[in-house]
Each structure stands twice: as C-alpha cells, then as structure tokens.
C-alpha cells in the first residue's frame, strides 16, 4: 500500500459535511498526510421549461460559509469546482483523479426519498472513484426512533 499524501473531503453547507471534514482531519493527523482539501462542487442549475444558458458562468469565489467551515481545521486548502457541465459526483471523481487524491471523504446524509429520486452522491463516489472512499454516516440518535 502506498503512502497517503492527499486527503480530500467533499463538502456542502450541511452539518454532515462538517462532520465529514472533521473525520478527514483526523485521518490526516493519524496518517501523516501532507494535504487536506475541502472540495465544494457548485451544482448545475435546475431548469423547468425552455433552457437558456446563463449570461455568465457561476462565480467560483469561496463562499463565506466554506471559509467558516474550515476555520478550525489547520492547513486545510479550499477548492471550489464548477460542475455546471457535468454530474457533480462525476466531477468530484474526476477532480480527485486529476489532483492525485489518496483518500476521498464524503458524508452520507441524504434521506431515502432524495436518494431514490436523484441518486446518492456518496454511492457514486464509492463505485466510481479510483482512490479509496471514506463515507461518514450520520450520527446515531441518542433516543431510539419509533416506527410510524
């Protein structure tokens, strides 16, 4: 097995992503990896009706929420990837390959219905990434959930 040098964590504005980023930081600390990158994919717009291309491409400026998310993670790089012309999970896999990522981390946090309708970002990474993928599950509730 080769040395782990670069860990990347796919993030959005969710608490689950923050949890994933903290797991990625812990893996970096324990493995001695040189780099940790928080990767945010700008999702493509959703159109209803006739498609008109946007007058200008979406901004790739780093959003404030992302800067705040990585503030307590030492030496974490931030990358914003425009997935405008591609399926976001496929763009994440391509970015990881192009940037020599050794471990790709993502939170698994979408509800059942959303996974059924739109597919699972995390599952796509797990099946299509060339590097190992660490999926961080949602926290287990303190109280048992009662069946409806």
- pLDDT mean values, one per 10 residues, the chain (148 residues): 91 92 97 96 71 57 90 95 82 96 88 50 91 88 66
pTM: 0.81
pLDDT at 47: 60
pLDDT at 57: 55
Q: What CATH superfamily is the domain 6-45+56-108+129-136?
A: HUPs (3.40.50.620)
The set of residues, in sequence order, having a beta carbon less than 8 Å from that of 75 and lying 6+ positions away, is 36
Report domain extents, the chain.
Answer: 6-45+56-108+129-136
**How far lies 61's CA from each of 90, 98, 146, in Å?**
21, 21, 43
The tokens 């969710």 sit on which residue?
14
pLDDT at 134: 95
Distance separating alpha carbons of residues 148 and 61, to the nearest angstrom: 44
């Amino acid at each position: 097995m080769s040395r782990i040098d670069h860990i990347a964590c796919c993030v959005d504005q969710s608490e689950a992503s923050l949890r994933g980023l903290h797991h990625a930081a812990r893996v970096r600390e324990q493995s001695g990896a040189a780099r940790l990158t928080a990767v945010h994919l700008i999702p493509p717009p959703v159109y209803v009706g006739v498609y008109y291309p946007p007058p200008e491409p979406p901004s790739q400026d780093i959003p404030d929420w992302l800067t705040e998310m990585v503030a307590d993670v030492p030496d974490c790089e931030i990358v914003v990837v425009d997935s405008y012309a591609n399926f976001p999970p496929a763009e994440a896999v391509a970015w990881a390959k192009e940037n020599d990522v050794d471990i790709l981390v993502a939170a698994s946090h979408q509800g059942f219905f959303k996974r059924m309708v739109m597919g699972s970002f995390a599952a796509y990474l797990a099946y299509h990434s060339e590097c190992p993928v660490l999926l961080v599950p949602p926290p287990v509730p303190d109280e048992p959930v009662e069946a409806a």
